[in-house]
A and B are shown apart, each in its own frame.
Chain A
């Protein structure tokens, strides 16, 4: 693996290797070091959490970081092309972690440069490190990735994380349950992909119908700005919200994941139940990103 650009580039063995390395790092059995490396974090689109997660990952590997997070202060505003920008920055770096609104930009950078590129999110396209930390979280909580029943709730149409989760889990024979407002349903492109892989999925309006069968409940925020009618948003936002009352009789191993930030789609009363896992999920991002960086530098 020379770059991490898209979930679709990952083989099943890549995924399992990264999980194994993450686990080794978390348990202190693996201590890869990159003290001789400088990682540039190019965040053309701001993100506090993802940036912090990468920074702490690099620093815990003893590496150093350079951060570019404000396009207005760069030569991009002088009309410099993306290609020239990344070419210059690659002269000072051993790796670039990139977040951008421009889809396909990390892929392009990986063609231009000799150093590893990690896609930290490109528009509505891919966010592979999120998908990897999600599958790591599923692995840690369920012990076995195979044959799980996974519910996806919220904005399934535009939610990059749920699309990537469907892709990254596709080698492990899951059964998906999609619960969303009608106009935010999972797109046909994802459903067709799952059908081609022989993966079962169900489209539901009501989470209560299925919550007691689930192993994983992955919740995403319903973004108010997606709704053309504010009243429509107000009507549905609580319908898809997760409360402690909803969780009566659920499976003991159920875990609730959320890519964060959450607003009101998971009630705070869920936080103290044994099912809430979203903060540990965020922490898993640190281990998985260490695993990715160390693997790309061939230090494990």
Chain B
């Protein structure tokens, strides 16, 4: 039997092929509670790609498409597996969305989204290999590795 470095979970979500060192940031984006049961592996050798990766296994929690696609901003090659009774019932790769609502916070303190009770909305686009997020309201643009995530999503 194949030996796993991170134990399997009975029910929940496995996020695999996270860029090495990014697992903590993924947890932060997903707003994982400190009470939640999480197993984390960092800088593990991937059998598939032969490169290093991080992996997260989160017990008893599944995520909606918005949250999953948001992970793509820092883990573009991540795969998401939904686990039920130790079996993988659904598996797919994250995709960079064209629009992200709610989860990102505009860095512009003068933006209406930082002054009113209003859900943020960003257009995500890539030009010349640089991915950026443009606020729908104030139209300011931020490089994707500089975006901030709203903690109240």
Contact = CB atoms under 8 A, between A and B. Distances in A.
Contacts of A243: none
Given A103-B110, A104-B135, A123-B110, A189 B141 contact: yes
A192 B127 contact: yes
B129 interface: no
B116 A82 contact: yes
B111 A196 contact: no
B25 interface: no
Contacts of A6: 139
B57 to A, nearest CB: 39
A104 B111 contact: yes
Contacts of A101: 110
Contact of B116 (A81, A125, A189, A192): A81
A81 B117 contact: yes
B117 A108 contact: no
B112 A102 contact: yes
B127 A125 contact: no
Contact of A82 (B112, B127, B136, B141): B112
Interface size class of chain A, counting residues whose CB lies under 8 Å from the partner chain:
20 to 34
Contacts of A125: 138-140
Given A102-B115, A196-B127, A108 B137 contact: yes
A8 interface: yes
B89 interface: no
Interface string B125-150: 00110000001111111000000000
A8 B112 contact: no
Give the size range of B's interface with the partner.
Answer: 10 to 19
B125 to A, nearest CB: 11
A1 interface: no
A161 interface: no
Nearest to B132: A189
A130 to B, nearest CB: 16
A103 B127 contact: no
Interface string B59-73: 000000000000000
Nearest to B120: A104
Nearest to B118: A108
Interface string B76-104: 00000000000000000000000000000
A104 B127 contact: no
A107 B136 contact: yes
B113 to A, nearest CB: 7
A164 B115 CA distance: 25
Contacts of B135: 104
Contact of B112 (A105, A126, A189, A192): A105
Interface of A: 6, 8, 81-83, 101-105, 107-108, 122-126, 189, 192, 196
21 contacts: A8-B139, A81-B117, A82-B112, A83-B117, A83-B118, A101-B110, A103-B110, A103-B138, A104-B113, A104-B136, A104-B137, A104-B138, A105-B137, A107-B112, A108-B116, A108-B137, A122-B138, A124-B110, A125-B139, A125-B140, A126-B139
The 6 closest A-B pairs by CB, nearest first: A104-B137, A103-B138, A104-B112, A104-B138, A105-B112, A108-B112
